[in-house]
Chain A
Amino acid sequence: MILLTVIARVADGLPLSASVQEEDQPGRDLQQYQSQAKQLCRKLSPQSPDHCTLEAGVMNFHYLIEEGICYLCLCEASFPKKIAFAYLKHLHNEFYDQYGGKVSRVTRPYSFIEFDTYIQKTKKTYVDSRARRNLGSINTELQDVQRIMVANIEEVLQRGESLSALDTKANNLSSLSKKYRSDAKYLNTRSTYAKVAAVAVFFITLIVYVRFWWL
Chain B
Amino acid sequence: MSAPGSTNPSSSGSYSQSSTPNGGAAPPRQNGPAQTYPSMYASTGYYGPPPHQQSYPTIPAHSTSVPNKTSITNSAQSANYYENNHQQQHHVYSQQPFQQQQQHPPYATPGSYYGQQPYHGVPTTVQHPQQQQNPSLVPAPAVGPGAPLYPIVSYPSVPGSGQYGTLSPSQSTSTPGVMPIQMSAPLHQYNSSQPTSTPPVHPGYGGAPPSQMVPTVNGQGTTAHQHYDPSHQAPQSYDSYGRVTHSTGGPAADRPPSGTPSTSVHSSPGHHQGIYEIQIFKFQCLTLNVSPSFSLPYSGGETSSSTTGSASPLPNSYDSLEGGSYPDSMPPSNDMTNQAQSYSSYGYHTMQPAYRQGPASRSDSSPSHDLYGQPSYQQYSQPFPDLSQLSAALGGLSGVPELEVEALRPVNLLQERNLLPPRPLEAPEPNLSADLRKVNCSPQTFRCTLTSVPQTQALLNKARLPLGLLLHPFRDLQQLPVITSNTIVRCRSCRTYINPFVTFLDQRRWKCNLCYRVNDVPDEFMYNPVTRSYGEPHKRPEVQNATVEFIASSDYMLRPPQPAVYLFVLDVSHNAVEAGYLKYLCDSILENLDKLPGDTRTRIGFLTFDSTIHFYNLQEGLSQPQMLVVSDIDDVFIPSHDSLMVNLKESKELVKDLLTSLPAMFSQSRETHSALGPALQAAFKLMSPTGGRVTVFLTQLPTLGAGMLQSREDPNQRSSSKGVQHLGPATDFYKKLALDCSGQQIGVDLFLLSSQYADLTSLACMSKYSAGSIFYYPSFHHLHNPAQLEKFQRDLGRYLTRKIGFEAVMRIRCTKGLSIHTFHGNFFVRSTDLLSLANVNPDSAFAVQMSIEDSLADSSLACFQAALLYTSNKGKRRIRVHTLCLPVVNQLSDVYAGADVQAITCLLANMAIDRSISSSLSDARDALVNAVVDLVSAYKSNVSSLQQSGLVVPASMRLFPLYILALLKQRALRTGTSTRLDERVFAMCEFKTQPLQQLMRMVHPDLYRLDNMSDQGALHLNDTVVPQPPLLHLSAERVSRDGAFLMDCGNVFYLWIGKCCNEMFIRDVLGCPNYASIPPNMNHIPELETPLSERVRAFLDWLQDNRAFSSTIHVVRDDASAKSTFFLHLVEDRTDSASSYSEFLQHIQQQMSK
Contact = CB atoms under 8 A, between A and B. Distances in A.
Interface of A: 6, 12-15, 17-20, 22-24, 26, 29, 31-32, 34-36, 38-39, 42-43, 45, 107-110, 113-114, 116-117, 157-158, 160-161, 163-165, 167-169, 171-173, 175-176, 178-180, 183
Given A31-B111, A31-B114, A160 B600 contact: no
A34 B486 contact: no
B875 A22 contact: no
A38 B205 contact: no
Interface stretch (B196-204, B578-586, B764-772): B196-204
Given A31-B114, A108-B876, A161 B83 contact: yes
Nearest to A118: B600
15 contacts: A12-B209, A19-B560, A20-B560, A22-B689, A31-B111, A31-B558, A35-B558, A42-B207, A108-B876, A109-B554, A160-B207, A168-B75, A168-B80, A169-B50, A180-B45
B547 to A, nearest CB: 20
Contacts of B209: 12-13, 42
Contacts of B689: 20, 22-23
B599 A165 contact: no
A11 to B, nearest CB: 9
Interface residues of B, number: 65
Given A168-B77, A175-B77, A176-B47, A109 B203 contact: no
A110 B560 contact: yes
Contact of A107 (B47, B486, B561): B486
B304 interface: no
A179 B203 CA distance: 30
Contacts of B600: 114, 117
Given A20-B559, A168-B50, A32 B203 contact: no
Contacts of B114: 31
A19 B690 CA distance: 11
Say what secondary structure dominates the interface of chain B. Answer: loop
B76 A168 contact: yes
A161 B90 CA distance: 14
Contacts of B395: none
B200 A35 contact: yes
B779 interface: no
A179 B551 contact: no
B15 A179 contact: yes
B642 interface: yes
Contact of B875 (A6, A45, A114): A114
B557 interface: yes
Interface string B619-642: 000000000000000000000011
A164 B86 CA distance: 13
Contacts of A113: 560-561, 563, 601, 875
Contacts of B78: 168, 171
B773 to A, nearest CB: 26
Nearest to A160: B204
B559 A157 contact: no
Interface of B: 14-15, 42, 45, 47, 49-51, 75-80, 83-84, 87, 111, 114, 116, 194, 196-209, 211-212, 217, 484, 486, 551-554, 557-561, 563, 599-601, 641-642, 647, 649-650, 685, 688-690, 875-877
Contacts of A29: 116, 194, 196-197
A157 B200 contact: yes
A109 B553 contact: yes
A109 B876 CA distance: 8
B164 to A, nearest CB: 11
A164 B81 CA distance: 11
Contact of A183 (B45, B111, B484, B642): B45
Given A114-B600, A179-B15, A172 B561 contact: no
A19 B561 CA distance: 10
B49 A172 contact: yes
Given A117-B600, A175-B77, A22 B642 contact: yes
**Which of A43, A172, A180 counts the most chain B CB atoms within 10 A?**
A172
A119 to B, nearest CB: 10
A180 B199 CA distance: 37
Say what secondary structure dominates the interface of chain A. Answer: helix
- 8 A-B pairs with least C-beta separation: A18-B560, A168-B79, A109-B554, A22-B689, A35-B200, A39-B200, A164-B204, A113-B875
Contact of B601 (A23, A26, A117, A179): A117
Contacts of B875: 110, 113-114
B538 to A, nearest CB: 24
Contacts of B202: 39
B801 to A, nearest CB: 21
Contacts of B203: 39, 42-43, 160-161
Nearest to B76: A168
A31 B743 CA distance: 13
B108 to A, nearest CB: 10
A162 to B, nearest CB: 8
Contacts of A173: 49-50
B49 A176 contact: yes
A138 B559 CA distance: 31
A53 to B, nearest CB: 19
**Which of A14, A20, A167, A168 counts the most chain B CB atoms within 10 A?**
A168
Contacts of B76: 168, 172
A172 B205 CA distance: 16
A161 to B, nearest CB: 5
Contacts of A117: 600-601, 647, 649-650
A108 B872 CA distance: 13
**Which of B208, B551, B559, B685 counts the most chain A CB atoms within 10 A?**
B559
Contacts of A183: 42, 45
Contacts of A158: 201
A168 to B, nearest CB: 4
**Which of A23, A38, A163 counts the most chain B CB atoms within 10 A?**
A38
A108 B51 contact: no
A173 B199 CA distance: 29
Contact of B79 (A22, A26, A107, A171): A171
A56 B111 CA distance: 19
**Which of A23, A45, A110, A164 counts the most chain B CB atoms within 10 A?**
A164
Nearest to A114: B600
Contact of B87 (A160, A165, A167, A179): A165
B271 to A, nearest CB: 27
Nearest to A18: B560
Given A36-B200, A157-B201, A180-B45, A172 B77 contact: yes
Contacts of B87: 161, 165
Contacts of A114: 599-601, 875
Nearest to B45: A183
Contacts of B212: 42
Contact of A164 (B79, B196, B688): B79
B523 to A, nearest CB: 16
Contacts of B486: 107
Contacts of A14: 211, 554
A13 B647 CA distance: 29
A32 B197 contact: yes
Contact of B211 (A12, A26, A39, A180): A12
A15 B877 CA distance: 13
Given A14-B554, A35-B199, A114-B599, 16 more contacts: A18-B560, A29-B116, A32-B197, A39-B203, A43-B207, A108-B484, A110-B877, A113-B601, A116-B563, A117-B649, A157-B201, A164-B83, A165-B87, A171-B77, A172-B75, A175-B77
B688 A26 contact: yes
A157 B45 CA distance: 36
A113 B875 CA distance: 7
Contact of A110 (B79, B204, B561, B690): B561
Nearest to A32: B196
A24 B45 contact: no
Nearest to A175: B14
Nearest to A35: B200
**Which of B204, B876, B877 counts the most chain A CB atoms within 10 A?**
B204
